[in-house]
Amino acid sequence: MTSQTDPALTIEAGNPEPPVAQKIPKTYVVHGETRIDDYFWLRDKDNPEVAHYLESENAYADSLTRHTSALQEQLYREMVSHIKETDIGVPFREGDYFYYTRTEIGKQYPIFCRKQAAKDAGDGNATEEVILDQNALAEGQKFMSLGGMSVSEDGKLLAYSTDNTGFREYTLYLKNLQTGELSSERMEKTGSFAWAADNRTLFYTVEEESTKRHYRVYRHVLGTNPTTDTTVYEDPDERFNVGVELTRSRQYLLIESGSHTTSEWRYLRADEPQGEWNLIAPRVQDQEYQVDHHGEEFFIRVNDTGRNFRLVTAPVHSPGRENWSELIPHRANVMLAGMELFADFHVLLEREDGLPHFRITDFKTGEWHRMSFPEPAYSAFPAQNREWETTRFRYAYQSMVTPNSVYDYDLQDRSSTLLKRTEVPGYDQSQYRAERIYAVAADGARIPISLVYRNDFKRDGSHPMLLTGYGAYGYTYPVNFSSNILSLLDRGFVFAIAHIRGGGDLGKVWHDQGRMMNKKNTFTDFIAAADYLVNERYTSSDRLIATGTSAGGLLMGAIANLRPDLFKAVIARVPFLDVINTMLDESLPLTIPEYEEWGNPNEKAAYDYMLSYSPYDQLEAKAYPALLVKTSFNDSQVMYWEPAKYVAKLRTLKTDSNPLLLKTNMAAGHGGASGRYDLLRETAFEYAFMLWQVGKA
């Protein structure tokens, strides 16, 4: 198999022509309809012609953007200049140690450390102990991702997992922190893990070979051969993934088995690791619940009486539904998003009007109050809270103008103490402004939009804008600070987030209104937001750039088909573009569980609806915006061939002369490069592309 032309030859000749992928039609029939996929062959990862094609696309993209090389370098150096490269995180107490993470200039990855804690507030002069140096793990590797890490209760053993391909294949290791020795006991293709109270028993999950679904929980005893580990739970339902965790009280281990719409939990006393796991409550389709422990009760967050969840308790000895006692009822305007339990109080994570709040309740008095935050749009979430008996709650706060800030909230005087705000060299917060505005969709839904820009911004339509969105899985798009964005803001850009349906910004109903047979609301909401921003002269269509990642990449493909006139350029990262072909293939990771988010195309009505928006299927002969499509060869969530096929097909159809670029990281996974400096290089390439398109290169 060969390409119709060898792009390497034309690129080297200095007259770059786009690669031409060979057409090899594959025909199949679905619901009586004959489908032809000319680029199915790109799925064959072992075929050297596939890698050749991707490398040719990389060479073409590099050639077409060569004039931005100096700008890329400038952007990269700017972004590095806004990072305190040698830095240290806020230490947190766990057991007899204070744990923290630090970084060093020139090193790609964090270093995980601890110091022995004194009996009172910790000894700042204690000797540092490096428990894991990710830079050392990455030596000789093109990719290094840390899946998770957990120290045994006595502080003597470390369990951690790593992936060196990007394909999310994590190997679990055990390290003796007293001797520094690495055990020969290793578990392959693992997910979550948790220690029992005996400091020698570890529970962990593993994935199925082809689907990568975490379906089984094993029990491993230190010093034994992992091949003899005992299976303690297996979920046969292909929609469900399992996870294991330890409660903050350290009294119970929990197994969650969950799909996108349904969940089921089991529990085991942490000091009885050889015991039998017991069921909290059997699964009920379309009901989700979450479990934590306090005293003689389990606390359960459940959406059985309403989509936004309520809070109930159940006795530990008999936690079935018949014994549930309601603490907080379902509220139509407040999403109960999570809970954090401590010995003397609990914190509920709530969302109202698209913003997060903390509701704190004293167990002894029953009194509760809400924490308040100062800005119109922000993110607030729990930080490291490992201590059970405490009067403080640690949280992180940030906004589009406020860098990430870690606080301790004192329950007794109801005050927050700032422990650390991420230092951003060269950043003057007073020079920037953030706001929250609303667009109105065709059906009347109000779409929140978060924006940030420099103070010298004028609403006259002259400013370029980067507009992003996601809109899937009930995921709430965080209103975070990014030092990288400063390179765009300082060149006159506005940065905006459209909090569209399909996400969870306004609760579970907001998610429901943008999934399954309502999925198109996600796309039309984004278009409504873009139209509003243009009409209100925050930007203009010839200066508007849209970007999205993964399911947000599907969004990019859809809006490029629906309203190509509205956007100057579109950047789609690891985009889910080939909806029908992927969702018809049950052998792929994620497909079956995703039926509850997108629908099952084996059902005719769902097939017709999904086909009507699938970006790969809806490509047609017309003008498109400039497009930068990014993927990774080892992505296990959205396979590289989806964007590759999309670009190959679009090259044969588009009638414009705008750039169409495909960039593939040949040694990474879904998140792109794993090293912090390498990731900045990728971002610099994107930003240079944007600046080129709006005439600021």
The secondary structure of 9-70 as a DSSP string is HHHHTT------PPP--EEEEETTEEEEETTGGGG-TT-HHHHHHHHHHHHHHHHHTGGGHH
Give me the mean pLDDT over the 303-310 stretch: 98
Tell me the pLDDT band of 504, cut-offs 50, 70 and 90: very high
- Residues sharing a CB contact under 8 Å with residue 185, sequence separation 6 or more, in sequence order: 174, 220, 222, 223, 224, 225, 226
For β-strands 569-573 and 626-632, DSSP reports them as parallel
pLDDT tens-place string over residues 46-70: 999 999 999 999 999 999 999 999 9
Tell me the pLDDT band of 122, cut-offs 50, 70 and 90: very low
Tell me the pLDDT band of 8, cut-offs 50, 70 and 90: very low
Q: Which of 259, 635, 636, 674 is labelled catalytic?
A: 635
Q: Which of 550, 614, 632, 636 is labelled catalytic?
A: 550
Report the percent of the chain where pLDDT is more than 70.
97
pLDDT tens-place string over residues 596-654: 999 999 999 999 999 999 999 999 999 999 999 999 999 999 999 999 999 999 999 99
pLDDT tens-place string over residues 587-602: 999 899 999 999 999 9
Give me the mean pLDDT over the 274-283 stretch: 98
> Is the per-residue pLDDT at 299 higher than 50?
yes
Neighbours of 244 (CB within 10 A): 24
> Is the per-residue pLDDT at 3 higher than 80?
no
pLDDT tens-place string over residues 447-458: 999 999 999 999
Q: Which of 82, 214, 357, 670 is labelled catalytic?
A: 670
Confirm if 434 and 400 have CB atoms less than 8 A apart.
yes
- C-alpha to C-alpha distance for 341 and 300, rounded to whole angstroms: 11
Sign for the CA dihedral angle at 70, 71, 76, 82 comes to positive
- Residues sharing a CB contact under 8 Å with residue 542, sequence separation 6 or more, in sequence order: 568
pLDDT tens-place string over residues 173-190: 999 999 999 999 999 999
pLDDT tens-place string over residues 165-175: 999 999 999 99
Is residue 292 annotated as part of the catalytic site, yes or no? no
Structure tokens at 582: 């992927």
DSSP string, 527-582: HHHHHHHHHTTS--GGGEEEEEETHHHHHHHHHHHH-GGG-SEEEEES----HHHH
Is residue 369 annotated as part of the catalytic site, yes or no? no
Tell me the pLDDT band of 15, cut-offs 50, 70 and 90: low
pLDDT tens-place string over residues 470-490: 999 999 999 999 999 999 999
Is residue 56 annotated as part of the catalytic site, yes or no? no
Give me the mean pLDDT over the 421-444 stretch: 98
